[in-house]
Amino acid sequence: MERTLIILKPCTVQRGLIGEIISHFEKKGLILAGMKMAWLTDEILSEHYAHLKEKPFFQRVKDAMRNCPVVLCCWEGVDAVHVVRAMTGSTNGRNALPGTIRGDYSMSMQENIVHASDSPENAAIELKRFFDDKELYTYNPTLLPNLYANDEV
């Protein structure tokens, strides 16, 4: 099983959409392996968004992510990174297709509801950035045989 990081951004928290967004991942059949609320620091955001450091909007992105606490989630499943990216839709909410999380809940490039890891390699790095090992859980959900064929897991 593959793991991925989802950050429910401050816009999601402020709009009262936490439960609604989490339910999308639950209904899909992804397994929640860890979740917590945190107020992100400038240091951790500088590390997380280091790839944007030279962009003119770098500080604006960090400021927006410090507006209020975020909800950090680790979701698990077969091809979890790909599945979650497909569910979230295009980064720009105005371009995201209806039926995707951003397509249904966002009108913004920045205030686009969630951050989702873009590769299994980055998911591993990001999960270590935001979670201690003891905050992530491995268990056998009783619904697993109803989610996958026995040769898929």
Would you name the residues annotated as active-site residues?
Answer: 115
> For residues 39 and 71, what is the distance between their CA atoms, to the nearest angstrom?
9
124 sits in the region (left: phi over 0; alpha: psi -120 to 50; else beta) called alpha
> For residues 81 and 71, what is the distance between their CA atoms, to the nearest angstrom?
18
Identify the bridge partners of residue 36 per DSSP, sorted by sequence position.
72
Strands 114-116 and 70-77: unpaired
Nearest to 61 by CA among 108, 25, 121: 108
CB within 8 Å of 143: residues ≥ 6 apart:
29
